[in-house]
Amino acid sequence: DTEVTQTPKHLVMGMTNKKSLKCEQHMGHRAMYWYKQKAKKPPELMFVYSYEKLSINESVPSRFSPECPNSSLLNLHLHALQPEDSALYLCASSQDRAGWDTQYFGPGTRLTVL
């Protein structure tokens, strides 16, 4: 089973709202990722968690706040977003962060910021 689940599937929020995206995997993977993808572009890495600790932050604005409550869960807290933050937000996981580990993606949350 290579399933990564994400909720919600779709989210519409205003610029003053606070919302959270959730990601879950039960494959025993120890690395989890957040990506942002705009239309017709490849995914862009935002954050990497390894063994529940943040290991990479790709200079993401502080209005995006990741959290890893346990080894199976990854959250992305959103606050004071801008319309240009509208995108598909993808979660992924891999066994570890080794160069040969395959990353498996969840179905994504399609976010619209009004």
Q: Is the dihedral of CA 22, 105, 31, 77 positive or negative?
A: negative
Q: Is the dihedral of CA 8, 113, 49, 99 positive or negative?
A: positive
Scan residues 89-108 and list those touching other proteins (CB under 8 A): 90, 94, 96-108
Query: Minimum distance from CB of 18 to other proteins (Å)?
Result: 25
d(CA 47, CA 74): 11
Sole residue written with tokens 């990564």: 4
Q: Which of 15, 41, 51, 112 is in the footprint of other proteins by CB under 8 A?
A: 41
Residue 55 touching other proteins (CB under 8 A)? yes
Nearer to other proteins, 71 or 107 (CB): 107
Residue 87 touching other proteins (CB under 8 A)? no
d(CA 100, CA 86): 31
Query: Minimum distance from CB of 12 to other proteins (Å)?
Result: 16
Q: Residue 64 corresponds to which tokens in the numbers above?
A: 């995006």
Q: Which residues bind other proteins (CB under 8 A)?
A: 31, 33, 41-43, 45, 48, 50, 55-56, 88, 90, 94, 96-108, 110
